[in-house]
Structure 1
Amino acid sequence: MTGNKITVIYITVISLTRGDDLTAERKISLDLVWGAEAIGELIGRSSRITFHMLERGELPAKKVGGRWVVERSKLIAFFMDPAA
């Protein structure tokens, strides 16, 4: 797939619990890949095959606002699992 871009969005989630202040915040970074085409490019499959896999629940992704999204680390872990 030449000329295509992989869309990656970094989100920082700040979780504050009782007694925490901003100096004690805990941050979690998510590396999200949006869209069947970008996910397919990441796993080396066409967008059509990837969309089919997503619709059948074969990939650890979910639909948000009508678009498929997956956390890059979860997708990599999914393929690293010996049972995959």
Structure 2
Amino acid sequence: TLLDAVVADPDRPLSALALWSDAERNLLTIERNRTETDFGEAAAQPLHRLFEQQVERTPDAVAAVYDDVALTYAELN
């Protein structure tokens, strides 16, 4: 897209030329930024309750890591 724009108007400053096609711009700025998530019934619960449920499901899974220290959900709870 940029090369086509340079060829079409070689006297135009680079800062005024498009880097992406409309489809590429839409993909990068709209499609890949869709972060909506349906949390269902979980959205109505307080965060600490959701965390406690995760502790019950996976107490020995790693929940947090800092430097070389890892804490499981049970330890963090």
What TM-score range do you get, normalising by the shorter chain? under 0.3
Greater Rg by CA: 2
Whichever structure has more helix as a proportion of its residues is 2
Under a length normalisation based on structure 1, what TM-score does the superposition of the two structures give? 0.21
Under a length normalisation based on structure 2, what TM-score does the superposition of the two structures give? 0.22
Whichever structure has more strand as a proportion of its residues is 1
